[in-house]
A and B are shown apart, each in its own frame.
Chain A
């Protein structure tokens, strides 16, 4: 009795968190460790023999190349970090600049050479899916934040009906991805009279196959055939990218609008008094002050879009070939259609490592502002 009354606070505390802790540990954290465990086994529906690193060997071709690749990524981050950390502390910036650029190029060189080795030895489907995911993430997040910035700036002016516009902006964001993708599946249809084809027809373009076209975007736009990374996403993947932009731009606009309203208004008034045009104010005051938020959104958004699944899976068509197989779709196919659990788990671990490199960079860039309270 004495014990209970003395520690009643602590006991209540533990009792209150127990259900949540049990559920989150079991379904939120344990799976990662179990995924690691699975990735070392032959596992088709039921557990098979121990394989060691064989799954990774087959995926990456050469495991040491993968680590060199990761190291190259870290060097890119380090190059940025050394520049941003010391540029204000040193008087002579030239050596630092040269040093950072050298590191940058060395990182790029490592990434390029190790990637080439991995592609020649490893599982092409998976490695290409990383490239497709990169296209997807990079293009969606930069467009979303860029367009979001323009919209936020428009909303920031003294306008009527601000509430209304904000409500409309979030509509695409709350639309469930599967249903939204169903609508876009028809809008991006291959029919000659599909909505989008009619629309581009207004500008005198020929109808396209959109989701059913696996040609790279550069070939569709400019008619040049490129065979490497620079060829860009296929037209089908571009359609999925456009859907991603449609659904998330408003969301980023709202966040950036919140960021804009933090900027003190006397700064704008001072600029106005100096006779600066609105465009100048935007470039010289707004963008620099918003830069931390923009950068943060780009990074977290990149990590999130790297995991996009629902709408891409729904919008897949057989004639687009594997050009829409982003990492998540590839992993899902491996364990759902081909029942290779161990192999899929190993792919998941590789994705996990790559995402953590991004998360590390996020931590490095924002550690000064990191605050959970």
Chain B
């Protein structure tokens, strides 16, 4: 039998055990509280006496929470598809095709990584209100789905990651495809994309989390609750919750769930990506 604990691994295990407890405890607390009655929640019991699933039903059916969750799903899905739609061809082009000023354009776009998000918000707001350039789909994008999604559809960081990956695909493949008369477009969608699925999944997850996290921007442009995402609704919830911790926690569980599910399915890819690039977030 292999001994798991010996003198050499005792300390690492102790450290990792503490880290695990600290990392998980808030989740445990959240889930446990979400099943409690108000009284139990206020008195900060460790575990509920009886599992109150009613909390979830109450949260889900009241205060439009259901709609906000669906809003968030819609918004995040649109942003992810938008990012993939603009980034995959761009990354391919930057990696494979030669055209004048390629590197200058690429470095120019990289500037956008250095600009703090808070500085962008104000000009974005004016653009969305249609005060700077005329917008398609209506004079103003305030309170609208396009206002929530379009500004985030171009992401140079995603292009950067994809480009690194596309560069590793052997040139010979393209030479062979061109011999057979394939266009760049055909080659990209029949060869490059299927070969690059791991990185595409990774950047999708990364963009999904970013989109799900969006908070300041929706708070700014939404004056009506038609398109409230779940983050803004939780924020409102915290401000007016009073002692109903149990309901707040149930709402949090519901709104973290999509991210957790995605994470569990893609954790290996995600871990690899962070080890290699240190995903920014």
Same complex for A and B? Answer yes
A191–B243 CA distance with the chains assembled, in angstroms: 11
Instruction: Please tell me if the beta carbons of B114 and A356 are within 8 angstroms of each other in the complex.
Output: yes
Docked-complex contact B19 and A170, CB < 8 angstroms:
no
Q: In the complex, which of the residues B16, B99, B150, B255 contacts A159, with contact meaning CB atoms closer than 8 Å?
A: B16
Which residue of B24, B108, B219 contacts A171 across the interface (Cβ within 8 Å)? B24
Which residues on A sit within 8 Å (CB–CB) of B120? Answer: 27-28, 31-32
B212 within 8 A of A: yes
Instruction: Tell me what chain A mostly uses at the interface: helix, strand, loop, or mixed.
Output: helix
Q: Is the beta-carbon distance between A31 and B13 smaller than 8 angstroms? A: no
Interchain CB contact under 8 A, B231 and A176: yes
Given known contacts A174-B263, A175-B259, A355 and B26 CB-to-CB distance under 8 angstroms: no
Asked if B4 is at the interface (CB within 8 A of a chain A CB), the reply is yes
Interface residues of B in 222-260 (CB under 8 A from A): 231, 234-235, 237-238, 245, 248-249, 252, 255-256, 259-260
State whether B20 touches A165 (Cβ < 8 A).
Answer: yes
Which A13-65 residues have a C-beta within 8 angstroms of B? Answer: 13-17, 19-32, 34-35, 38
> Is the contact region of chain B dominated by helix, strand, or loop, or is it mixed?
helix
Among A24, A155, A191, A336: residue with most chain B CB under 10 A: A24
Task: Judge if A119 is at the interface, Cβ distance under 8 Å.
Answer: no
B68 to chain A, nearest CB (A): 12
B176 CB-CB contact with A under 8 Å: no
Partner of B99, one of A10, A278, A331, A344: A10
| Known contacts A12-B184, A19-B86, A176-B213; A170/B159 CB under 8 A | no
Q: Does chain B have a CB within 8 A of A226?
A: no
**A168–B24 CB distance below 8 A:** yes
The interface-forming segment of B48-56, B196-204, B269-277 is B269-277
Kindly identify which residue among A25, A155, A255, A348 contacts B16, using a CB–CB cutoff of 8 Å. Answer: A155
Q: Contacts of A352 on B, CB cut-off 8 Å?
A: 115-116, 119
Q: Which of A79-87, A100-108, A193-201 contacts B (4 or more CB under 8 A)?
A: A193-201
On whether the beta carbons of B24 and A150 are closer than 8 Å, the reply is no
Q: A13-B98, A254-B271, A310-B216 are in contact. Are A183 and B26 (CB under 8 A)?
A: yes
Q: Assuming A31-B115, A310-B216, is B121 touching A332 (CB within 8 A)?
A: yes
Q: Indicate if the CB atoms of B23 and A171 lie closer than 8 Å.
A: yes
CB-CB under 8 A for A255 and B275, given A13-B98, A168-B23 = yes
**B86 pairs with A159, CB closer than 8 A:** no
Q: Find residues 137-159 in chain B having any chain A CB closer than 8 Å to their own CB.
A: 150-156, 159
Tell me whether B97 and A16 are in contact (CB under 8 A).
Answer: yes
Q: A250 on the interface (CB 8 Å rule)?
A: yes
Nearest Cβ in chain A — how far from B242, in angstroms?
12
27 contacts between A and B (CB under 8 A): A10-B99, A10-B100, A16-B90, A17-B105, A23-B153, A27-B150, A28-B109, A32-B115, A38-B123, A151-B16, A154-B11, A170-B271, A171-B23, A171-B263, A176-B212, A177-B213, A182-B238, A182-B249, A183-B249, A193-B43, A254-B275, A313-B216, A314-B238, A328-B116, A348-B122, A356-B114, A372-B110
State whether A169 touches B23 (Cβ < 8 A).
Answer: yes
A302 within 8 A of B: no
Q: 5 additional contacts, CB 8 Å, given A28-B156, A173-B281?
A: A12-B183, A171-B263, A176-B259, A178-B213, A356-B114
Q: Does B130 sit at the interface, judged by CB under 8 A?
A: no
Determine whether the beta carbon of B86 is less than 8 Å from that of A187.
no
Q: How far is the CB of B186 from chain A (nearest CB, A)?
A: 11
Return the contact of A157 from the options B12, B117, B231, B256 (Cβ within 8 A). Answer: B12
Q: Which residue of chain B is the closest to A254 with respect to CB atoms?
A: B274
**Hey, which chain A residues are within 8 Å of B19, CB to CB?**
151, 165, 168-169, 249-250
Q: Which residues of B contact A373 (CB under 8 A)?
A: 167
**A166 at interface (Cβ–Cβ under 8 A)?**
yes
Closest-CB distance, B132 to chain A (whole angstroms): 7
